[in-house]
Amino acid sequence: MNNFILRTITGIVFVSLIISSIVFSPLFFAVLFFCITLLGLHEFFKLLQNGGKAPQNGWGLVLGGLSFTGLTAVAHDWMNVRYLLALIPLMMIIFISELYRKKPFPFENIALTLLGTIYIALPFGLLNFFYLPGKSYAFILLLGYFIILWINDTFAYLFGMTFGKHRLFERISPKKSWEGSIGGALTSIIAAGLLAYFTDSLPFIHWIAIAAIIVVSGTLGDLVESMLKRSLNCKDSGTILPGHGGILDRFDAVLISAPLIFVYIQLVN
């Protein structure tokens, strides 16, 4: 099958699944992204292993999975925030278990294991805080976040393919251009304006600010993930999404932008 057709079909199914989970219920979304979190962590640790590193895969998956679950429960008031303190002893177990592995560079192994939770589980978990209780459509901010993210990504690609001449960050990503980034930014701002006009969730200025944060941090998130793959001599993070690569390839912009949008929401809400 032609790669463009395969990529399109995968993208439609992927987007439809995420939108359905957002609109259907917070629980459905949480279950879906719990699975995505574990798949992303698995990819991350596999990439590191293929690059000659030795993270603690098992404990990394447990810590990441429990961190996502805890953040989700707190976000929806299913659990008191103090129960997140239970994650601290688990982190200490990762330090202690490294004593018995007899691997070289033990503190590098510990750091990379903990990095999986910080880089992957934390951003995905914070997405659950994007629901806005008390609004007509509590899910509109979360849905709008993904819409702006996808529009930025899509139009940056289209503008870059059509007009791209000046490289944005050639050392890390030779194909990204300033023209593509500007095109993605402009269409994202337009999308944010339309979201503000047609919904009552947030004022216009906040949607524009959110779009600006997504454009900048999403692009940097893409570059960060490219930096990770280049440092490990790897082209794609995985093959689970035909035509798109792996989970980290598809969600690289989320991993940096979601925590920043979370902070913004907390400051203005």
| Torsional sign, CA 68, 201, 150, 218 | negative
Q: Give the bridge partners for 245, in sequence order.
A: 241
- Chain center to CA of 16: 17
Q: Name, in order, each residue with C-beta under 8 angstroms of 262's C-beta and a sequence gap of 6 or more.
A: 126, 129, 130
Task: Report the C-alpha gap between 97 and 113 in whole angstroms.
Answer: 12
Task: Report the C-alpha gap between 49 and 89 in whole angstroms.
Answer: 25
The residue with tokens 């953040």 is 71
- One digit per residue, the tens of pLDDT, for the chain of length 269 reads 556 677 778 778 889 999 999 999 999 999 999 999 999 999 999 999 999 999 999 999 999 999 999 999 999 998 888 989 999 999 999 999 999 998 999 999 999 999 999 999 999 999 999 998 766 678 999 999 999 999 999 999 888 888 878 788 778 887 888 888 999 999 999 999 999 998 877 899 999 999 999 999 999 999 999 999 888 888 777 667 666 678 998 999 999 999 999 999 999 87
Task: Report the C-alpha gap between 269 and 186 in whole angstroms.
Answer: 26
- Chain center to CA of 167: 24
Ramachandran angles phi, psi of 245, nearest 5°: 100, -130
Task: Report the C-alpha gap between 215 and 226 in whole angstroms.
Answer: 17
